[in-house]
Amino acid sequence: MTEATFFTAAFILYVLSALCYLAFQFSRKEGAAAAGLAAAFAGLVVHAVALVLRTFQSGHAPFTNMYESLSFLAWAVVLALIIVEWRFKVPKAGAYVMLIAIAVMALASSPLMPKEAAPLVPALQSYWLWLHVSVTLLGEAFFAVAFVTSIMYMRAKDPEKREKMDSVSYRCVSIGFPLFTLGGLVFGMVWAEKAWGTYWSWDPKEVWSLITWFVFALYLHTRIVMGWKGKRSAIIAILGFLAALFTFFGVNYLLSGLHSYA
């Protein structure tokens, strides 16, 4: 049993989960949503085995190239969904969040992503790799859930559902924001100071992390101080996630800088 086997098994379970959640969307049967959650959880466990195997096989943290980072991001998104489901009970968001996880998994397994575990370049040989990347991606996973619930808010007609989606978006941001601040910015600065000799170099990835942070800071200030809610909040949360997405992908493929590994 190799990492690839578990990865594929997790992928299948995620697809099953999405199908169950989709069935729930149409049938409104609680059982379907419960099955979706169970499949997502089973997928999460199997996927975790894949990540652990990868770690043992490569001898380093399982997020040092695009394939690994995407695989971990998908795992984090599913974890975030399960936490949100458990705390705030939004089964209607399940299908869309799982679709995001599936898309990320599919992208990871596409032939464009080199999968072989390359030995670590000197700059990445640090325990800060674990802390910086895992906490950042977990924060971004919550932004992904906020993105989904914000879009659902925009599309929903039922005022009760809108209220719920608005509140869940906010709760996701309030979990994601501290995680992103800690992992992306604070741990990033500490590591940069150790590896590059300067905590901030205005590298495009750093700048885009800061932009993402600013957008969510805007979300929180307009909401908490100025009382913005609903549509305007949802738009900012969507923009924030897109900024996070660009930080993750766009900077690597469109801009050049120090963060050339993943």
Residue ranges that bind other proteins, judged by CB under 8 A: 88, 118-119, 121-123, 125-126, 128, 167, 174-175, 177-178, 181-182, 185-186, 189-190, 193-200, 202, 204, 207-208, 210-211, 214-215, 217-218, 221-222, 224-226, 251, 255
CB of 220 to other proteins, least distance (A): 9
Q: Which is nearer to other proteins, 177 or 241 (CB)?
A: 177
CB of 79 to other proteins, least distance (A): 19
The H or E element containing residue 230 is helix 230-245
CB 36 within 8 A of CB 17: yes
Alpha-carbon gap, residue 251 to 69, rounded angstroms:
14
Q: Which is nearer to other proteins, 106 or 230 (CB)?
A: 230
Question: Any idea what the Cα angle at residue 188 is, between residues 183 and 194, rounded to 5°?
Answer: 135
- At 194, list the tokens: 């150790």
CB of 194 to other proteins, least distance (A): 6
Instruction: Give strand ranges (E) for the chain.
Output: none
3-state helix, strand, coil in the chain (%, to 5): 80, 0, 20
Please, which residues have CB within 8 angstroms of residue 121's CB and are 6 or more apart in sequence? Answer: 261
- At 77, list the tokens: 């998104």
CB of 32 to other proteins, least distance (A): 24
- At 10, list the tokens: 């997790």
CB of 87 to other proteins, least distance (A): 9
Q: Which is nearer to other proteins, 12 or 121 (CB)?
A: 121
